[in-house]
Chains A and B, each alone.
Chain A
Amino acid sequence: MSVVIVIAGLLFGAGAVAALWRIIRGPSALDRIIASDVLIATAMCAVGAEMAINRHTDNLPVLLVLALFTVVGSVSVARFISTRDDT
């Protein structure tokens, strides 16, 4: 089981670092908002993996709130980029 934890941690970390690199280097604001969505999804999956491995359910409301409210940032950025093109 510890081998699984190490491999999953490495994969989650690599995905998060790749998303962070795209947030920093993204040529447009749309790339950055997509990469931040991926970063949030990776964080949600990591929190859920920790819950599943340690057999508790303390952080399920965190996942519910993230699933409800991460759409707000993406939709608002997409709306304002559609009307103003500067990148």
Chain B
Amino acid sequence: MSGDVIRDVFTAVLVLLSAFLCFAAGVGLIRFRDVLSRLHSSTKPQILGLMAIVADVVVANPSVATITLALAIVFFQSLTAPIAAHMLGRAAFRTDHFRRDILVVDEVSPLSGSSRSHSSDE
């Protein structure tokens, strides 16, 4: 009986953590000012929220099939979400969809300057 209570508390804590991360991503999407900072807020529920909720499903009903599918879900999400974030950030940088005045450090412009002048000869 006490194990059931512990499992319920664990489920509730992980569900609330994931819901809070989704809410924080929404607030960040509204409040932040350019594409790069919105990208920063949007990647929180994609990895940590999904890991919390998948661990939650595994705790709620543990079996070999559930654990295998959960590991596959976390693996593929952590494989594809950084790719998407990287591509979106690169597209935002190349098309100047960010504010240079709120940028703290810019390590890409000296590098992409040479490659851009090289590729603008097309």
Contact = CB atoms under 8 A, between A and B. Distances in A.
Contacts of A21: 29-30
Contacts of B49: 41, 45
Contacts of A37: 42, 46, 84
Contacts of B21: 45
Interface of A: 1, 4, 7-9, 11-12, 14-19, 21-22, 28, 30-31, 33-35, 37-38, 41-42, 44-46, 48-49, 51-53, 55-57, 60-61, 63-64, 67-68, 70-71, 74-75, 77-79, 81-82, 85, 87
A68 to B, nearest CB: 5
Interface of B: 8, 11-12, 14-16, 18-27, 29-30, 35, 38-39, 42, 45-46, 49-50, 53-54, 56-57, 59-61, 65-66, 69-70, 72-73, 76-77, 80-81, 83-84, 87-88, 90-92, 94-97
A81 B97 CA distance: 11
Contacts of B54: 48, 63
A1 B16 CA distance: 11
Contact of A45 (B39, B45, B61, B65): B45
By secondary structure, the A interface counts as helix
Contacts of B76: 64, 67-68
A55 B60 contact: yes
A57 B16 CA distance: 19
Contacts of B24: 15
A64 B42 CA distance: 20
A15 B54 CA distance: 19
Contacts of B29: 18-19, 21-22, 34-35, 38
B60 A18 contact: no
B91 A30 contact: yes
Nearest to A60: B69
Nearest to A23: B29
